[in-house]
Chain A
Amino acid sequence: DSGVTQTPKHLITATGQRVTLRCSPRSGDLSVYWYQQSLDQGLQFLIQYYNGEERAKGNILERFSAQQFPDLHSELNLSSLELGDSALYFCASSDRPQLAASYNEQFFGPGTRLTVL
Chain B
Amino acid sequence: LAKTTQPISMDSYEGQEVNITCSHNNIATNDYITWYQQFPSQGPRFIIQGYKTKVTNEVASLFIPADRKSSTLSLPRVSLSDTAVYYCLVPSNAGNMLTFGGGTRLMVKP
Residues of A bordering B, CB below 8 Å: 2, 4, 33, 42-45, 56-58, 90, 92, 98-111
Contacts and interface: CB of A to CB of B under 8 A. Distances in A.
Contacts of B76: none
B100 A104 contact: no
> Chain A at the B interface: mostly helix, strand, loop or mixed?
loop
Chain B contact residues: helix, strand, loop or mixed:
loop
Interface of B: 28, 30-32, 34, 36, 41-46, 49, 87, 91, 94-100, 102-103
Contact of B43 (A44, A105, A111): A111
Given A100-B30, A102-B32, A45 B42 contact: no
Contact of A2 (B30, B45, B95): B45
A2 B38 CA distance: 13
Contacts of B97: 45, 56-58, 99
A93 to B, nearest CB: 11
Task: Identify the interface centre among B32, B43, B45: most chain A CB within 10 Å of its CB.
Answer: B43
A106 B37 CA distance: 12
B43 A43 contact: no
A98 B95 contact: yes
Contacts of A108: 36, 43-45
A112 B36 CA distance: 19
B44 A42 contact: no
